[in-house]
Amino acid sequence: MQLLEHAVLIRAGYLILEAITIHMECPIEEETWTSSQHTALTHSLSD
């Protein structure tokens, strides 16, 4: 039972990674993500 749950979690993780990768391949979205990530980094550094 535990092994099955573990396999499901791994599969879910791969699906999420795949979705992120596909999402990042879109130039506009990637630019938006990068700028928001940079903003988040700047805020965390200033705190």
pLDDT at position 2 is 84
User: By percentage, how much of the chain surpasses pLDDT 90?
Assistant: 4
- Measured in whole angstroms, the distance separating CA 5 from the mean position of its chain's CA atoms is 22
Greater confidence (12 vs 27) lies with 12
16-27 pLDDT, tens digit per residue, is 888 888 877 665
Q: Is the pLDDT of residue 33 over 60?
A: no
Distance (Å, rounded) from C-alpha 37 to C-alpha 47?
A: 16
* pTM greater than 0.75 (yes/no): no
Q: What is the mean pLDDT of the chain?
A: 73
